[in-house]
Structure 1
Amino acid sequence: MGTLFDRAVAMGVGFTHCVSVGNQADLELCDFVEFLVDDPDTAVICSYIEGIKSPARFRALAARARAAGKPWLVVKAGRTAAGQQAAFSHTASLAGDFAALEAVCRAENVVLLDDVFAMLLLAAAMARHPGHRVRDTVLLSTSGGSAALSADKLAAAQLPMTRFDADTRARLATLFVPGQADNPVDLFGAKVAEVPDFAYQSTRLAMADPRADLCLAVITTAPNLAGMAAEIARAADEAGKPVIHVMQPARLADGARAVLAQAGQPLTDGLGEAVEAVRAWSAWSAWQPAQHGQHGQDGARLAVSLPPGATVLDEAAAKALLALAGIPVNAGVVVADAEAARQAAPAVGFPLALKVVSPDIVHKSEVGGVALNLRSAQEVADALGAMAARIAAGWPRARIEGWFLQRMAGGEVELLVGARRDPQFGPMVVVGSGGVLVELLRDVVLLPAPVSAGAARAALASLKLAPLFAGYRGGAPVDLDAAVDVLVRFGALAAQMGERDFEIEVNPLKLGADGCVAVDARARFGEEPQ
């Protein structure tokens, strides 16, 4: 806290209050946030958090801060959790403590940042421009090389740069040699002899563009740094739009830093801090309140009877539960031996998948407990015999409760969809890239339950595999509405669990052009709370 206070003084940033909460044995984080929400002199709330004692209160205060028009910025320490490797399901190992906090912050528009100094920089900018929304950035620089590197940083953070309209381009063309003001704007591409106050004029015209939300001014070694900084700050103030200054020289720029601090302009020496601040401001600006549909609004509407007591459901039982919740599953039957499989296979329908049913085998493919595309009763019987021998040799202590025959399901995209109860924040839904590479790819998003259709759609769109949904390299587009419906139903089912510990997972959910189907599932339930 002392370091942040010292940095703020150097930046010309003021605090209403600074509080170090210690181990929160008595008064805790939420007590002080509640006070700051009500404090008329506080414009932005900053928190460095190591632990949250009151998760429900945390969420309630986030809503109060939004209602008060006060952005809440957070840096969280301790983003990793031990002991996730031996989890019951992928859902548990992928949906750890920080991931749950991240999901809650995303839902409540609490802004998570990676760096405390970026948090301070953003707080200074947001306090200066309350309620301002940021999407497109104008990049000014005194160096073509620095402009290129800065543009790369913005692109890597998926932050769009302003596309100037025709009027802005025409006005800038009167000040610059061709190609130097298309954004990035290279200030030393201006016709300096003709435009003595080129930094002011360039910034004024660029920020007058209706698409320009924020100016990132990356300043390298140049003549009259203090005068240039003052010109940029004056032009941005006249436009009524924020500018974040990155002052890259060392002692040579101390005069410029003093000018900006005196003017209360957000200032940093690090490009990384500035880009992180812009990313977080853009995320805060893009937030939309959840609009719950009929399933997400009321989990009880699913009318699913949950199993009593602590129990683990095998695939067949887990799928039966999901089917009651309206989640599509592929048809199947559990048989006792090869002869029973031979008899049952034609009724299930070919081609078939065969899977071992054992409480001691969680990841069936890892022990050779899955056979696919079986096209006759004899193939099914032979595959079962070979599978039984393989498991007996490799896993002799595994209890075999039967063999699951199920119809093969098609689909172009494989998703993981799961739900669990987070110890702090309650029921969570996870969605991500599915299949056997789920742990390797770790392409997942968490959502607090219940889940609205809008939140579900946004989560799917944020996945790395999202380009596959529209069809990739000749592939057919998939039925994204079907996946959204599954997420909403998962959220309703998770919300119905209340305080009960649980994990439910589908991997994969196969998504095709005409719907989706859960082809593998598992579930675990703890004791019902008293």
Structure 2
Amino acid sequence: MFGGAWAENVVRQCIASGYKGEIWPVHPTRPEIAGKRCFPAIADLPRAPDAAFIGVNRHATLEVVSELQGIGCGGAICFASGFSEVEDHDLQAEFVARAVEMPVLGPNCYGVINCLDGAMIWPDEQGCRPVERGVAILTQSSNIGMTLTMQQRGLPVAYLACLGNAAQTGLSELSEAMLADDRVTALGVYMEGVGDARAFAKVVGAARAAGKGVVVLKAGRSEMGQQVAMTHTASLAGAGVVSSAYLSQIGAGEVVSLPQLIEALKVLHVEGPLTADTFVSVSCSGGEAGLVADAAERGSLRFPEVPEATGARLSELLGPLVTISNPLDYHTFIWGNTALMADVFTAAAEGFEASLFVIDQPNAARCEVASFEPAFDAMIEAHARVGRPLFAVSTLPETIDEALSDRLMVAGVTPLLGIEDALSAIEATGAPQGEDGWLPWRPVTYEEAEVLDEVSSKALLAAAGLSVPKGVSGTKIAELDPSGFEAPFVLKGLGFAHKSDAGAVRLGVQTLENAPDIEGASGYLLEEMVSDGLAEILIGGARDEVYGATLTLGFGGIQAELLKDTVTLVAPVTGSEIETALRGLKLWPLLDGYRGKQMADVAAIVEAALRVQTMLDVDRRLIDIEINPLIVRRTGAVAVDALIRRILK
């Protein structure tokens, strides 16, 4: 340990945790720190340390890093700030250069908590307990990391590490190392930026293949200060939307709060990634049953009707006054009878793939809790009999304490605190495993780009096999010859990013005779008007500086902006994935023959989206491709408006 007060905190943390290895403080003047002998300099150490905490100022840090790598130190944590996070990129580059091949965490990093072996390389307070196995948590915020150590929800934490600036060792490298420990059951990440998206996808894929789940809380899901781009695609496929699509495609669960992160990790620790498809909720109150029903309607968990055989058995046990339903309110007729409660809980659990038992423990400091013990004992017994996922869910986060959480988890029952957070956590842990070997495309970097006009954009679409209207262009309206075309026409003024907003689109034109100019137009495009469409669809392909490229699909025109009924996928995707995404849109019924209307050619939409993806794949100069709208017919689809942006040579 290098430094003064912060280094002393690390020494004290290791001593308090019972760390059995050697601890070597290094200080030029102090004889000891926290009862441990100090060494005046690195050269005085008995041998190269396995790990080091560097708690000196940023400039002195560079010298310490150089010396440590020179003697073969196993790795170092850099606590000091004042590097790239304050725009001093040169200093951070120097930090990485001096480390050479020695692994370093940080700078601007608290460090690593190892609750398995008691190695607490951590300069501040932390609330973790020793464990024999548990989850690993990575966070890019040291303060968030410290907060997570203070949880009292029964989550066993094996490792917690902060990445800081992640100048050298990043999210993927540290995740891979921690997941390689057989004592680690799952990985939770508080993510501000993924870093290498391809590398992290590989890590998640390997974890899922090993039966370990990964759940992520992505910071900044709201608008993240991105500049509004000229296309609808960029405004709709913001960073939060794209990161969510990416996490879904690699098989990582996503949550939106720290409580949900903790609850999801508890599920993964006890059960691993969930495969359950049907759920039952059991409580002794109609109020709790109603809360579960309302929360379930806002999510994706299925609470189907009670199977006939299960219902008959429950009626036999509960009597005629209890209505058998899901969620189930079993009243209090059986309260306190452990054996009968266990039989009821078992019967309910046997009819579904996973069970939620809603119950709130009284405050032991103010109440008598003994009368609630039969309910918890019955849950444990039911789990032992059925062997399927069983969750003890409280309505309030404070009504299952840490001691009870520990007791339940040892018995294989997962305590989940708060109904909303419980259901969200369960959903996150059921994220389907990603396609084997799937990786996002490598990002494309560029400095300058050009916007192609509609004529040039449609020429590229046509060359890629997409259908576009017949048309003719010119610098003046008088130059446009409609011979060979069928009215009605669409007349468009060129040179506008959003032609409709500028009043530069005239529909249903029968003749160009005496047609007035469009103010501000740099040229004109006359096309046959597509009048037999059944739906207007937006298809957008866009490069992403982190995730490679995206496809955004939705209903076109102003509907995309007003309803935000769009879905974003990270390339590459398959046709079946595109169709599944389309079916998830709110307005999907309009494509599927809603109220007896004709069905649109969904296969044509899928084909158009795949061709846009191929264009991005084949020509890495293309940055954005927006078709808005793609008019979908009963058979076929036509790209009636398009905008393409590409890198300048």
TM range (shorter): 0.7 to 0.9
Q: Which stretch has the larger CA shift, 116-125 or 399-408?
A: 399-408
Say whether the 8 Å CA contact 1:348–1:407 is kept in structure 2.
no
Say whether the 8 Å CA contact 2:440–2:549 is kept in structure 1.
no
Say whether the 8 Å CA contact 1:417–1:505 is kept in structure 2.
yes
1:333-372 to structure 2, matched below 5 A, reads: 333-341=472-480, 344-358=481-495, 361-372=496-507
1:231-310 to structure 2, matched below 5 A, reads: 231-248=378-395, 254=401, 259-260=407-408, 263=411, 265-282=413-430, 284-285=431-432, 287=433, 289=435, 310=449
In 2, distance between residues paired with 1:261 and 1:288? 28
In 2, distance between residues paired with 1:451 and 1:490? 11
State the match for 2:47 in structure 1.
none
1:312-323 to structure 2, matched below 5 A, reads: 312-323=451-462
Change (3 A) 1:183 1:75: same
State the match for 2:358 in structure 1.
218
State the match for 2:261 in structure 1.
119
State the match for 1:494 in structure 2.
616
Change (3 A) 1:249 1:92: closer
In 2, distance between residues paired with 1:469 and 1:418? 19
1:187 partner letter: Y
1:76-115 to structure 2, matched below 5 A, reads: 76-82=218-224, 84=226, 86-115=228-257
State the match for 1:182 in structure 2.
325
Task: Describe the SS at the equivalent of 2:158.
Answer: coil
Task: Describe the SS at the equivalent of 2:342.
Answer: helix
Deviation of the 1:408 alpha carbon = 2.3
Say whether the 8 Å CA contact 2:469–2:639 is kept in structure 1.
yes
Determine whether 1:328 maps to 2:467. yes
State the match for 2:11 in structure 1.
none
Say whether the 8 Å CA contact 1:187–1:198 is kept in structure 2.
no
2:497 partner letter: V
Deviation of the 1:496 alpha carbon = 2.2
Determine whether 1:512 maps to 2:649. no
Change (3 A) 1:215 1:121: same
In 2, distance between residues paired with 1:424 and 1:257? 39
Say whether the 8 Å CA contact 2:322–2:331 is kept in structure 1.
no
State the match for 1:419 in structure 2.
541
Change (3 A) 1:468 1:399: closer
1:272-318 deviation per Cα after TM superposition (whole angstroms, max 9, x unaligned): 11011122133x14x562899xxx999xxxxxxxxxx9432111211
Say whether the 8 Å CA contact 2:400–2:415 is kept in structure 1.
no
Task: Describe the SS at the equivalent of 2:629.
Answer: strand
Say whether the 8 Å CA contact 1:428–1:494 is kept in structure 2.
no
State the match for 2:315 in structure 1.
173
In 1, distance between residues paired with 2:436 and 2:595? 34
Deviation of the 1:190 alpha carbon = 5.0
Determine whether 1:373 maps to 2:508. yes
Structure with larger RCO (C-alpha < 8 A, sep 6+): 1
In 2, distance between residues paired with 1:187 and 1:259? 24
Deviation of the 1:239 alpha carbon = 1.2
1:424-463 deviation per Cα after TM superposition (whole angstroms, max 9, x unaligned): 1112111112112322222222222222112111111111
Deviation of the 1:471 alpha carbon = 1.6
In 1, distance between residues paired with 2:322 and 2:528? 63
2:388 partner letter: K
In 1, distance between residues paired with 2:557 and 2:543? 23
Say whether the 8 Å CA contact 1:247–1:268 is kept in structure 2.
yes
In 2, distance between residues paired with 1:132 and 1:225? 28
In 1, distance between residues paired with 2:325 and 2:389? 20
Deviation of the 1:512 alpha carbon = 2.4
In 1, distance between residues paired with 2:407 and 2:210? 32
Deviation of the 1:132 alpha carbon = 3.8
In 1, distance between residues paired with 2:412 and 2:314? 28
In 1, distance between residues paired with 2:396 and 2:291? 16
Q: Aligned residues, how many?
A: 490
Say whether the 8 Å CA contact 1:427–1:497 is kept in structure 2.
no
Spell out structure 1 runs of 4+ moving beyond 6 A: 249-252
Change (3 A) 1:157 1:253: closer
The TM-score, its normalising length taken from structure 2, stands at: 0.70
Q: Which stretch has the larger CA shift, 58-67 or 484-493?
A: 58-67
Task: Describe the SS at the equivalent of 1:456.
Answer: helix
RMSD, aligned CA? 2.8
In 2, distance between residues paired with 1:311 and 1:496? 18
In 2, distance between residues paired with 1:373 and 1:242? 61
| Selected match of 1:137 from 261, 276, 279 | 279
State the match for 1:228 in structure 2.
375
In 1, distance between residues paired with 2:157 and 2:457? 53
Q: Which stretch has the larger CA shift, 225-234 or 103-112?
A: 225-234
State the match for 2:294 in structure 1.
152
In 1, distance between residues paired with 2:596 and 2:590? 10
Change (3 A) 1:132 1:228: same
In 1, distance between residues paired with 2:335 and 2:572? 59
Change (3 A) 1:179 1:362: farther
1:245-280 deviation per Cα after TM superposition (whole angstroms, max 9, x unaligned): 222368776585564355463223311110111221
The TM-score, its normalising length taken from structure 1, stands at: 0.85
Structure with greater helix share of residues: 1
Deviation of the 1:102 alpha carbon = 1.6
Task: Describe the SS at the equivalent of 1:437.
Answer: helix
Task: Describe the SS at the equivalent of 2:557.
Answer: coil
In 2, distance between residues paired with 1:235 and 1:197? 10
In 2, distance between residues paired with 1:403 and 1:140? 65
1:67-126 deviation per Cα after TM superposition (whole angstroms, max 9, x unaligned): 222211100111234554631211111122222222211111111111222122122222
1:364 partner letter: K
In 1, distance between residues paired with 2:398 and 2:426? 26
| Selected match of 2:552 from 430, 452, 455 | 430
State the match for 1:2 in structure 2.
146
State the match for 2:605 in structure 1.
483
Say whether the 8 Å CA contact 2:397–2:418 is kept in structure 1.
no
Deviation of the 1:477 alpha carbon = 1.3
Task: Describe the SS at the equivalent of 1:175.
Answer: helix
2:372 partner letter: L
